[in-house]
Amino acid sequence: MAIVVRLDELLQERRMTLTELAQRIDMTLPNLSILKTGKARAMRFSTLEAICGVLACQPGDLLEFRRDGE
C-alpha cells in the first residue's frame, strides 16, 4: 500500500492507547483499528482533524506516502 498510516508510532510516542484515542475522538475502536492496520480505503477530513487535534500533530505526521518497493 502506498499510503502508510503511522498511528501506531504516534500513539507510542505519546504513550496513549488506541482505546483512549477512540474515546477522545468519539470513534469506535473497530473503526480506528481499521485505520491503524492500514485496511481503510479512505479517511474523512473530520477524522484526520480529530486525530491531529488529540495527538497534537500534523496530517503529514500521521500519513506517509511510500513508493512500491521502498
Partner 1 sequence: MKHSTTLSATSVTLRVLIVLNWIFGAFIFAMLAISFRAESWTWRALKVGAVAGREGAFAGMRAIMALGIIGIPLGYVVFSRLLKIVESVRTGEPFTRENAGRLRTIAWALLGLQLLHLVVAAIASAVARRGVPLRVGGHLQVGGWLAVLLLFVLAQVFLEGTRMREDLEGTV
- Measured distance CA(58)–CA(69) in Å, rounded: 26
Minimum Å distance from CB 32 to partner 1? 7
Minimum Å distance from CB 52 to partner 1? 14
Minimum Å distance from CB 39 to partner 1? 7
Number of residues that bind partner 1 (CB under 8 A): 12
- Measured distance CA(23)–CA(9) in Å, rounded: 19
Nearest to 7 by CA among 52, 70, 65, 68: 52
Chain positions 33 to 52 lying near partner 1, rule: CB under 8 A, are 34-35, 39-44, 47
